[in-house]
Each structure stands twice: as C-alpha cells, then as structure tokens.
Amino acid sequence: MTEHILIERSGGVLSLTLNRPEKKNALTAHMYQRLASAIDDAANDPDVRCILIQGNGDSFTAGNDLSDFAAVNTGDRERIGPNPFIAALARATTPLVAAVQGRAVGVGTTMLLHCDLVFVAEDARLTTPFVNLALVPEAASSLLLPTRIGHVRAFAMFVLGDAVDAATAVGWGLANAVVPTAELHARARAAAAAVAAQPAAAVALTKQLMRDSAALSAQIDKENRHFAAQLQSPEARAAFAAFRDRQRRQLP
C-alpha cells in the first residue's frame, strides 16, 4: 500500500518514512518500488538536496518480508527480479541520511552502507543474517561491508548472524553517532537539513568522487545471480521451514 512509504518534502529534504510498524517495517515489493522511484526522481529535482530515510515504530526495518521469499521457494510466486531499491541506492547522486532505531535486519543494515550519514538510537541492533536463511549478501554489501569493517567482522555478521549494537556500529564506522531514541529523528533531520544547505554541485561531486557506482552495480548483479539461485534451493526451503516453525512456537 502507498501509505507504507510516507513521502514528505520540506526545506530541500525529501523524507522517506517506512510506515509498516505492525510488521516491524518489513519491506514488500511495492515498498521497494516506491523507495526506488523516490530516490531516482530526486536526482532530477533541484528542490531535493538531501534524502532522509527513517522508520516509524520501534524498528527501522525487519528487512525483506520473508513471506515473499518463501513463496518463491515453494513455487507459489514467480521468481523475484532485481531489487529496484538496491539498484537505486547504487546509482543515487543525492546525499542519503538514515535514522535507525531498534532492529535493522538484512537490507535494513546493507542500505546503510550506501548512506552518507547514519544516526543510530541507543537500542539499534544491526544484523545481516543472510546465511541463516541459506541466502547470500546483497546491495553490494559483500564488497562494502568488509571494506568498511574488515573481513573477519563482516564474515561473522554474514555467516554467523552476529548482531552489532549502536555503540559498536559507531566504533566500526557504520554510523556517525548514537542518539537517544526520543531525539533520533530530529537529529537526523537536522543533519539532512545541514547537508541540503551546502553548495549542491560541490556536495554531489564529492559524493560521486567517494563512490564507484559502476563497481557497486557490477557487484550487485553478481550477488543477484547467486541470491536468486539460493532462493530456490533445498537449503533455503529448509531454512524457511525452520523460520516458520520458530514463529509458530513464539505465538501465544
């Protein structure tokens, strides 16, 4: 539904708010498309000089809605194509700021590697448990995460599903600052406004010089091929069945 992504423009900042709190802001195909279109449109809108990504509720995002993945694995849904949001992040020319509270799972963490400023609440927990679901990393994170935090830390996050708390995220260079939860959105908004107030061309060129979009897109394409194959594998079928079983056991 459209209301699952709230879009607001003010003072040069485009705010994209994940608004599915009852599902921990788990992302659906429609939400991905809305986010991708907003980011792409911003590149051609001189009134948008910074993008703020945030989430309502107690979690930033629980990542992809796993019912979509499970449906592909069982053949109840056609194969999922490349994620438009991930592709949009790789080619984004507008600065990106993120405000992260609570859980940031899977793409909830990997998208942060494409953001230029990241603020985390005290309760933030970043996880990339792809291998737990018999999948592989995405969003060029297999390249970006080890470059940012080192191979052994990235391997532990990807393969063992190790969680990273807010203070560690800052210490490892995944975020700029830990912010009290009540102040998180205001702090991130102020940072986005400060970016928007800077000379736009100089900001855009600086972001461009700091990133190799072609290399990121090539890595995403490589990841996508392995991700699609693993999604239909017996390993994934077993992992999704185990996940559903854990969910059933947690129900009251």
The per-residue DSSP string of 91-125 comes to H--S-EEEEE-SEEETHHHHGGGG-SEEEEETT-E
Q: Region 171-196: what's the mean pLDDT?
A: 98
> Is the pLDDT score of 73 beyond 60?
no
Model confidence over 229-245: pLDDT tens digits?
A: 999 899 998 988 887 77
Model confidence over 188-206: pLDDT tens digits?
A: 999 999 999 999 999 999 9
pLDDT at 76: 52
Under the banding of pLDDT at 50, 70 and 90, the label for residue 249 is confident
Q: Region 111-139: what's the mean pLDDT?
A: 97
Partners of 6 in beta bridges? 17
* Average confidence score pLDDT of the chain: 93
Under the banding of pLDDT at 50, 70 and 90, the label for residue 111 is very high
pLDDT at 242: 84
Residue pair 112/118 in contact by the 8 Å Cβ criterion: yes
Give domain 2-182+199-206's CATH superfamily: 2-enoyl-CoA Hydratase; Chain A, domain 1 (3.90.226.10)
Q: Region 70-96: what's the mean pLDDT?
A: 79
Residue % of the chain over a pLDDT of 90: 85
pLDDT at 97: 99
Query: Residue 18 and residue 101: Cα distance in Å, rounded?
Result: 12
Q: Where are the domains of the chain?
A: 2-182+199-206
Q: Cβ of 78: how many Cβ atoms within 10 Å?
A: 8
Q: Which two tokens stand for residue 175?
A: 């975020």
Q: Region 110-130: what's the mean pLDDT?
A: 98
Residue pair 108/63 in contact by the 8 Å Cβ criterion: yes
Model confidence over 215-230: pLDDT tens digits?
A: 999 999 999 999 999 9
Query: Residue 8 and residue 27: Cα distance in Å, rounded?
Result: 19
Q: Region 128-139: what's the mean pLDDT?
A: 96
> Is the pLDDT score of 136 beyond 90?
yes
Q: When comparing pLDDT for 252 and 59, which is higher?
A: 59
Under the banding of pLDDT at 50, 70 and 90, the label for residue 181 is very high
Reference 53, options 22, 18, 80; nearest CA is 18
Rg (CA), the chain: 17
Write phi, then psi, for 77 (nearest 5 degrees): -140, 150
pLDDT at 18: 98
Model confidence over 8-42: pLDDT tens digits?
A: 999 999 999 999 999 999 999 999 999 999 999 99
Q: Region 72-91: what's the mean pLDDT?
A: 77
With H, G, I as helix, E, B as strand and everything else as coil, classify residue 160. Answer: coil
pLDDT at 218: 97
